[in-house]
Amino acid sequence: MRFVTAIFWGVIYGEITGFLAASLTSSTFQPVQSLIISAVFVVLLVFLPPLMEHFSGTSKSTTK
């Protein structure tokens, strides 16, 4: 559920960022393009840290 929420809000923020960037550069806002770009970045940012941690061989838990 945590990943779904992160992806949802990341795409929403990506759409807002795309709209603001289009307004600042005086170009037309293309919501589909903004959606695709933000979805790719959000998926990378959400799944890359757990994937890197899995393959690094170390875990967050420390035993004393």
pTM: 0.71
Asked whether residue 58 is assigned to any structural domain, the reply reads: no
pLDDT given for residue 7 in this prediction: 87
Give the domain extent around 25: 2-51
**Averaged pLDDT of the chain:** 87
Asked whether residue 57 is assigned to any structural domain, the reply reads: no
pLDDT at 64 over 60: no
> Distance (Å, rounded) from C-alpha 62 to C-alpha 3?
25
Residue 62: helix, strand or coil by DSSP? coil
Asked whether residue 38 is assigned to any structural domain, the reply reads: yes
Asked whether residue 36 is assigned to any structural domain, the reply reads: yes
Question: Total structural domains in the chain?
Answer: 1
Asked whether residue 62 is assigned to any structural domain, the reply reads: no
Average pLDDT value for residue range 23-29: 95
DSSP of the chain, one letter per residue?
-HHHHHHHHHHHHHHHHHHHHHHHTT----HHHHHHHHHHHHHHHHHHHHHHHHHHS--S----
| Contacts of 35 by beta carbon, 8 Å cutoff, 6+ apart | 11, 14, 15
Asked whether residue 61 is assigned to any structural domain, the reply reads: no
